Amino acid sequence: MIDPDTKEWDKQIIENIFIPDDQNLILKLPLGREQRADSICWHYTQNGLFSVRSAYLLADALLNSQSSSTRSDLRANTGWKSIWKAKIPPKVRLFIWKIVSDALPTAWFGGTMEWISHVSSLLTTKDFEKFLVMCWFLWGRRNLLIMEHTSQTPHQTVSAANSLIAFREAYVTQPRKHVRHGARPSKWIRPDTGTIKINFDGVVHHKGCEVGIGGVARDSDGFVLAWFSRKFQRQVDGEIAEALAAREAVDLVLRHGWNSVLIEGDCLGLINKINISEPDHSYTNSLVHDIKVAASLCSDLAFIHTSRNNNTIAPKLATRAGAPLHSTYCFSPAEADLFCLLEADFHF
């Protein structure tokens, strides 16, 4: 199913054998440059290895899938929305959420979401908020009676609920001072003298059907040594796009024969996979393997993680990626905008 010449999936063969849903799943799998033995991967963890926790979460999701699907329509109605819009304390909202999610140990009597929706349609917004707070207080008084054998009169319960509502209204209506925090400035951090830094990024376009990769290599003075920008017609996710960009960054190092290189990206999951010595068992394993093999051919190369604020040019290169691959020492007049971006990005 892999074309021996292009090292890509043979789309025609896959379409002739598999149903459309399976075709898409297969074509999304990235292929590495080396032919490797097949291996079994656990799809429900990031590293592809089985864990008891992931199995528990999967089993819980499967068991609750039917009840969740039947409840989803109810959550979308006005009753559900009115709960989240109500100006009530978070603990009261959490309590009501437990009611409608069947998370409280109570006997079943009618549809919980149905009667809450019905009440919300009859009451004003303010009265509905009082109703929700009263439900929370009634539940608390019920627990006191059962657990601590302490009872209160209905008047005491209503009075306590009204006090909480009054306090909440007074707190919400108080004017607040808003402190404006300036946005964190984007800044490229220069490497040590004699070291080259390559920033890379991968982005997914057009609902996952197209991926762009970009990267730029600069020395410690901020001088641009080379850059790349490329586009693929593939159905991939964000991490695969990042891995394709990281692989291209290592190839850039090998083509130019650079020594002492830092390759910097903002995808922490991918950087961790590259830096650990153990083999990657996730769906990105073929690309991570390619990156590690290529990196081993470099004399002094390291992958480091940075925040997106410090990696602003590579995403722009990936976003504007054209079909050809660029690796140049200078910018053409048509690419003057990139030169301006690089100039603005560099700060000492």
C-alpha distances out from residue 301 to 193, 244, 254, 256, 258, Å: 15, 17, 11, 13, 9
SS (H, E, C) 141-185: HHHHHHHCCCCCCHHHHHHHHHHHHHHHHHHHHCCCCCCCCCCCC
Kindly calculate the radius of gyration of the chain based on its CA atoms and give it in whole angstroms: 29
Domain that holds residue 139: 76-173
Residue 156 lies in a domain: yes
Tell me which residue of 232, 215, 231, 204 sits closest to 322, measured CA to CA: 231
Do 333 and 252 share a domain, yes or no? yes
Do 162 and 210 share a domain, yes or no? no
Going by DSSP bridges, is the β-strand pair 196-205/301-305 parallel, antiparallel, or unpaired?
unpaired
Residue 134 lies in a domain: yes
The per-residue pLDDT for 248 is 93
What lies within 8 Å, CB to CB, of 93 at 6+ separation is 83, 84, 86, 132
Burial category of 257 from C-beta neighbours within 10 Å (exposed 0-12, middle 13-18, buried 19 and up): exposed
Crossing angle, helix 52-75 and helix 78-85, to 10 degrees?
110
The per-residue pLDDT for 2 is 78
CA angle 93, 95, 97 (to 5 degrees): 70
The per-residue pLDDT for 329 is 40
Tell me which residue of 286, 211, 196, 293 sits closest to 245, measured CA to CA: 211
Residue 24 lies in a domain: no
Do 341 and 236 share a domain, yes or no? yes
7, 15 contact by CB (below 8 A): no
Do 121 and 169 share a domain, yes or no? yes
Indicate the number of domains in the chain.
2
Do 134 and 249 share a domain, yes or no? no
Confidence (pTM)? 0.58
Residue 123 lies in a domain: yes
Q: How far apart are CA 264 and CA 299, in angstroms?
A: 17
Amino acid at 150: T
Indicate which CATH number applies to the domain containing 252.
Answer: 3.30.420.10
Write the DSSP assignment of 206-254 as a string of letters. GGGTEEEEEEEEE-TT--EEEEEEEEE-----HHHHHHHHHHHHHHHHH
C-alpha distances out from residue 50 to 25, 41, 42, 77, 133, Å: 21, 8, 6, 39, 44
Residue 262 lies in a domain: yes
Do 165 and 204 share a domain, yes or no? no
Do 115 and 225 share a domain, yes or no? no
Do 281 and 335 share a domain, yes or no? yes
Q: What is the mean pLDDT of each run of 10 residues along the chain (348 residues)?
A: 76 84 78 75 82 87 64 52 78 80 61 63 82 86 85 82 76 57 66 93 78 90 87 81 93 92 93 87 86 91 91 85 47 51 55
Do 241 and 286 share a domain, yes or no? yes
What three-state secondary structure class fits 26?
helix
Residue 16 lies in a domain: no
Residue 70 lies in a domain: no
**Domain end residue (candidates: 121, 139, 173):** 173
Tell me which residue of 222, 216, 217 sits closest to 261, measured CA to CA: 217
Do 263 and 147 share a domain, yes or no? no
Do 279 and 225 share a domain, yes or no? yes
**Domain end residue (candidates: 173, 205, 231):** 173
**Domain end residue (candidates: 173, 207, 226):** 173
Residue 62 lies in a domain: no
Going by DSSP bridges, is the β-strand pair 210-218/224-232 parallel, antiparallel, or unpaired?
antiparallel
Do 247 and 290 share a domain, yes or no? yes
